[in-house]
A and B are shown apart, each in its own frame.
Chain A
Amino acid sequence: MKAFSYSFTFYCLLGLILLATTDGLAQVESSDSLLSPLLPPSEVIAEDHPGDAGAAIIVRWKLSPDEDRGVTGYEIVRSTSPTGEFSSIGFAAAGSNRYVDANTEDSLTYYYKVLAIDVDKNVSESELSPPARSSPQWFNFHLLNLLIIGGLICGAVIYFIAHAKKGKKLFLRKIAGLEAVDEAIGRATEMGRPILFIPGILDMDDVQTIAAITILGRVAKTIAQYDTKLNVPTSRSIVMSTAMETVKEAYISAGRADAYSDDFVHYVTDEQFGYVAAVNGIMVRERPATCFYIGAFFAESLIMAETGNAIGAIQIAGTAMPAQLPFFVAACDYTLIGEELFAASAYLSGEPKQLGSLKGQDVGKIIAMSAIVIGALLETFFAISGSSFFGSLAELVHKLFSIVAS
């Protein structure tokens, strides 16, 4: 009896000490929670993944209530029968409440379960999801806003092209870099030196390269009239073939087919820095009077433009790579910034139809500027007033101009 009394007192004291300390409290709480089983995720829903070509089901669930108690993630299992064998198809990290099963057959029905797993590898299984079947869709409704805005801009471009066809006069601001093209070609002619044209380092599947080739066509026609030597080193075989054909046709349309040479356009290498080394070598040896850098460029932009600057060439650059623009601005005499690159061919042609398309872009700019101003104002009003009205409107504008992932 005495021994029992001593033991009882000892355990009471120990209990008091543990309860009196924070660590002790935490320890008691922790051991309590560890004793309770891991709670599973709930409300598992599986449905066809929207706006796709089929073969995908999206699984959503409500996180396990024990998410903060060491859940490391969720394993997703599936079966084609509610009573059949479930096999693992993927794993979602803790905090995730969705998983896209992108490996389904449209003709089959699938059932899903989600298993919560904690640090001690305890597993807790959810209820079975309702049956789900994937199917392809004929329209991706997530891109409806893109279709509307894109349609408006395309409609405006087509309208202004048609408008210009009727002979209406259009105002276009002067683009200094393009105004200087004739002067740059004339200078090379006077100096008796060649003109170097670099059409970027990407292939013909890049829109900047297409823009570069269209500009090359215009420039080559003027060069043919001035009877100056042209040098177009390319880093892609298809670009070489296209550029060769474009230059040849430009010479023919200028009435100078006799002055054309197949050596004007030549292939160098696909390798970025191998190409730069070759172009720099050409610059240093042939000392072109004028250099055009039009198209897509990466780290090689400054190496080429600085070499051109060192040999005293007039340099006209144009790219839609924002990271390379500062380099060209620093090293070249004229730089076509972003949209000017795509406008250049139309600008140089001077044809009303082509210029009309540039006018159509202005509608897009009005839409973009309006959205920016309205969005900024709504967000500001929401931040100042806290009114949910402004918050909802700001959210609406944001959604209208965002491509939301499903």
Chain B
Amino acid sequence: MRRQIPVVITFIVGSVLIISVFIPHKPFGQLGENFSVYFDIIAVFAFILGAGNLLRVHGNRIYKKHKDWPYSVVTVAGFTVMMIAGLFKIGGSPGITGDLTEPGSMFEDLYMYVFTPLMATMFALLAFYVASASHRAFRAKNKEATVLLLAAFVILLGRTPFGVELTSWLPDPLSFLEIPNLASWIMSVPNMAGQRAIMVGIALGVIAMALRVILGVERTYLGADSE
């Protein structure tokens, strides 16, 4: 019973949502939007679970002096400071309607001058990771890797002023051989064809997966084996 009720709910909700795509008449037409709103409401309450879990896990680590526990102190301290700054609107307009993000409020300052730079730093690291991954991926180990290397070389060169200058002398009938044009062709023909093939596969995979879940054939997400 504990597993059957969720399967029945999934079947009804899944079927109704599929029907609602084709039937615009009320009450079907608005169902997709309404269910999305219900999900958001549930997600807001579920956030309390997340915050509780965060405090429990890191609180335990601090209490038991777990390995690397000082990191947990930073996590709990950061969470607490941001929560107090937000809940009590320190430095901002008080009251329930006061703007949390008004300039000068502690929450806004912490967000703008601590959190945003930290996020930007993490994002900036991507440049170095792209370089190291490219270095490894673009080794001409076999035929396929060599083709990949050449394609990457043309695209990289085609996006630089040097690449434009390098072949700009070519006469008009041979302009298709200019590096920026070759780069553009690689992106819009073979690359696009590959991406579309992947997208078709994804669409079919989603259909099969959705049917397995709606029909109750796949129940792992409910914490159960299949029927």
Q: Which A residues are closer than 8 A to B by beta carbons?
A: 51-54, 136-140, 143, 146-147, 150, 153-154, 157-158, 161, 203-205, 207, 210-211, 213-214, 217-218, 236-238, 240-242, 245-246, 248-250, 253, 263, 266-268, 270-274, 276-277, 281, 285, 299, 302-303, 305-306, 309, 320, 322, 325-327, 329-331, 337-343, 345-346, 349, 351, 353-354, 357-358, 360-361, 364-365, 368
A143 CB contact (under 8 Å) in B22, B136, B198: B22
CA distance A227 to B218 in the complex (A): 25
Known contacts A153-B204, A217-B220, A306-B133; decide if A273 and B50 are in contact (CB<8 Å).
no
Interface 1/0 per residue, B56-80 and A, CB below 8 Å: 0100100000011001000000000
Shortest Cβ gap from A132 to chain B (Å): 18
A-B contacts, 16 of them at CB < 8 A, read A53-B29, A136-B29, A147-B22, A161-B211, A217-B220, A245-B222, A266-B53, A271-B115, A272-B119, A322-B195, A327-B133, A330-B133, A331-B133, A339-B204, A361-B204, A364-B204
- Considering only residues 32-72 of chain B, those with a C-beta below 8 Å from chain A are 36, 39, 42-43, 46-51, 53-54, 57, 60, 67-68, 71
Q: A53-B25, A140-B21, A320-B202 are in contact. List 5 more A-B contacts (CB 8 A).
A: A237-B48, A272-B119, A322-B199, A338-B198, A346-B218
Interface 1/0 per residue, B189-207 and A, CB below 8 Å: 0000001001111111111
**B132 in contact with A138 (CB, 8 Å):** no
Closest to B207 in A: A153
For residue B172, CB closer than 8 A to chain A, the reply is no
Shortest Cβ gap from A244 to chain B (Å): 8
CA distance A276 to B39 in the complex (A): 25
Closest to B27 in A: A53
Name the B residues within 8 Å of A213 (CB-CB).
220-221
A240 CB contact (under 8 Å) in B53, B115, B136, B212: B53
Most central of A263, A267, A329 by chain B CB within 10 Å: A267
Closest to A154 in B: B211
Name the B residues within 8 Å of A326 (CB-CB).
137
Closest to B125 in A: A303
CA distance A361 to B224 in the complex (A): 24
Closest to B39 in A: A205
For residue B143, CB closer than 8 A to chain A, the reply is no
**A299 in contact with B123 (CB, 8 Å):** yes
Shortest Cβ gap from B191 to chain A (Å): 10
B226 CB contact (under 8 Å) in A54, A136, A353: A353
Decide if the interface of chain A is mainly helix, strand, loop or mixed: helix
For residue B24, CB closer than 8 A to chain A, the reply is yes
**A357 in contact with B47 (CB, 8 Å):** no
Closest to B21 in A: A143
Name the A residues within 8 Å of B24 (CB-CB).
51-53, 136-137, 140
CA distance A135 to B187 in the complex (A): 45
Name the B residues within 8 Å of A204 (CB-CB).
39
**B126 in contact with A210 (CB, 8 Å):** no
**B50 in contact with A237 (CB, 8 Å):** yes
Name the A residues within 8 Å of B227 (CB-CB).
353
B129 CB contact (under 8 Å) in A242, A274, A303, A351: A303
Name the B residues within 8 Å of A246 (CB-CB).
220-223
For residue B30, CB closer than 8 A to chain A, the reply is yes
Known contacts A161-B215, A331-B133, A353-B226; decide if A268 and B54 are in contact (CB<8 Å).
yes
**A154 in contact with B207 (CB, 8 Å):** yes
CA distance A327 to B130 in the complex (A): 8
CA distance A38 to B207 in the complex (A): 54
Name the B residues within 8 Å of A299 (CB-CB).
123, 126
**A351 in contact with B226 (CB, 8 Å):** yes
CA distance A296 to B201 in the complex (A): 16
Name the A residues within 8 Å of B46 (CB-CB).
236-238, 241
Shortest Cβ gap from A153 to chain B (Å): 6
- Considering only residues 129-167 of chain B, those with a C-beta below 8 Å from chain A are 129-130, 132-134, 136-137
Known contacts A238-B43, A299-B123; decide if A357 and B25 are in contact (CB<8 Å).
no
B132 CB contact (under 8 Å) in A236, A238, A250, A306: A306
Known contacts A237-B43, A277-B118; decide if A161 and B217 are in contact (CB<8 Å).
yes
CA distance A349 to B226 in the complex (A): 9
CA distance A285 to B66 in the complex (A): 13
Name the A residues within 8 Å of B200 (CB-CB).
365, 368
Name the B residues within 8 Å of A271 (CB-CB).
115, 119
Name the B residues within 8 Å of A361 (CB-CB).
204-205, 207-208
B122 CB contact (under 8 Å) in A161, A276, A320, A351: A276
**B202 in contact with A338 (CB, 8 Å):** yes
**A237 in contact with B47 (CB, 8 Å):** yes
For residue B12, CB closer than 8 A to chain A, the reply is no
Known contacts A143-B22, A345-B218; decide if A207 and B224 are in contact (CB<8 Å).
no
**A354 in contact with B199 (CB, 8 Å):** no
Name the B residues within 8 Å of A273 (CB-CB).
118-119, 122-123
**B199 in contact with A274 (CB, 8 Å):** no
**A245 in contact with B223 (CB, 8 Å):** yes
Known contacts A263-B60, A354-B218; decide if A341 and B205 are in contact (CB<8 Å).
yes
Known contacts A210-B209, A237-B46; decide if A302 and B221 are in contact (CB<8 Å).
no
Name the B residues within 8 Å of A270 (CB-CB).
47
Name the A residues within 8 Å of B51 (CB-CB).
237, 267
Known contacts A214-B221, A330-B137; decide if A138 and B202 are in contact (CB<8 Å).
no
Known contacts A138-B23, A303-B126, A306-B129; decide if A267 and B53 are in contact (CB<8 Å).
yes
